[in-house]
Structure 1
Amino acid sequence: MKQLTAADVRASFINTSLRERKAVKLPPEFDNLVWTDLDYLGWKDPKVPNIGYVVTHLDDEPTGIMMRQSSGRARSRPQCSWCEDVTLPNDVHYFTARRTGPAGRAGDTVATLVCANFECSANVRKLPPLAYTGFDRDTARLKRIEKLELRSRAFVAGLRDNL
């Protein structure tokens, strides 16, 4: 992911009001992020833990969304729709995000299952277990990184009202 400034991040949100955009609290480690290790920037609001933010690049521009975590609990442990990691050390939660434009103002949302604290970039960079003799673990890791980028970007792009 390309490095962003705090102003870039705040200006990138497509499904928030101006008031919500100004209220965004950046992650505490923002100034020390290793941007090359991120496929998207994701974090939870420290003061409102059921609110999450995701910023990725669409059409070479930073594009951010605000998401709301569902308060319900799953009966079984779900799999993250973005990183699809089955050996996760963390929880996965159901998040909803408002669409942009008139649909979003009318309450239309889109939902997905995502790692609770948006750890997907770290998960896909772990070397996968040996699946069979001759399995190329490095190539598998690169494919997982590529798929994470595609899935997270597709979700954000799907919120636009022009689709």
Structure 2
Amino acid sequence: MQPLDPDEIRASFVNCSRGEAKSVTVPGDVPWADRDFLGWRDPKAPARAYLVLPYEGEVVGLALRAAPPARSRVRSNMCAFCSTTHSVSDITLFSGRRAGKLGREGNTLGTYACSNLACSRYLRGEIRPDIPQPHESLSLEERIARLEDKVHRFVARVLESR
């Protein structure tokens, strides 16, 4: 991913107001070359999360809400983006307003993803999940392409009515 400065990141948000985008706490010191997207939780407001990525020739940012941890008998779940299996406490339902008219009408879209949004780091083995992973025969490049495809599909659905 190409490096972005805080102003570029704030200007990229498509599903929140300018005022909301202005108040976003932007992470510092991002190793841009090793990221397929920039995803983070707001340290000042842990229920807020953000996703910024190159999409169809522009940079698109999504403001998301993290649901409270699930109370489930399920012991593990899989990230919809990177396909990493985690204990249920390390997977979060993230939802965001749809862009445009649908978002103004209150429509949202959600997906289950790694709670820390560190999908790029899991794929590259920089960090390990807390449970053993099933063996995959895909190469790293194929897994990265799958991750990008899944994230782009999510963004496309958010932008559908824009």
Asked if the contact 2:97–2:103 (Cα under 8 Å) also holds between the matched residues in 1, the reply is yes
Offset at residue 131 of structure 1 (A): 4.5
Structure 1 residue runs of 5 or longer lacking an equivalent are: none
One-letter amino acid matched to 2:22: K
In angstroms, what is the RMSD of aligned CA positions?
2.5
TM-score where L is the length of structure 2:
0.86
SS of residue in 2 equivalent to 1:57: strand
Figure out how many residues of one structure are paired with residues of the other and give that number.
Answer: 155
Matches within 5 A, 1:98-113: 98-113=97-112
Q: Given the superposition, is the C-alpha separation of residues 109 and 87 from structure 1 closer, same or farther in structure 2, using an over 3 Å criterion?
A: closer
Shift of 1:87: 6.0
Q: Which residue of 2 aligns with 1:48?
A: 45
In 2, Cα distance between equivalents of 1:67 and 1:2: 22
- Contact 1:57–1:153 (CA under 8 A) maintained in structure 2: no
CA distance in structure 2 between the aligned counterparts of 1:130 and 1:115, rounded to whole angstroms: 16
- What aligned pairs does 1:1-163 form with structure 2 within 5 A after superposition? 1-27=1-27, 30=28, 32-75=29-72, 76=74, 77-86=76-85, 91-126=90-125, 131=135, 140-162=139-161
2:94–2:112 contact (8 Å) kept in structure 1: yes
Is contact 2:92-2:113 (8 Å) kept? yes
Cα-to-partner distance string for 1:9-45 (whole Å, 9 max, x where unaligned): 0000000011101111112xx2x21111001000111
Report the identity percentage.
33
Where has structure 1 moved over 4 Å in runs of 4 or more?
129-132
CA displacement at 1:52 relative to structure 2: 0.1
Larger Cα-atom Rg: 1
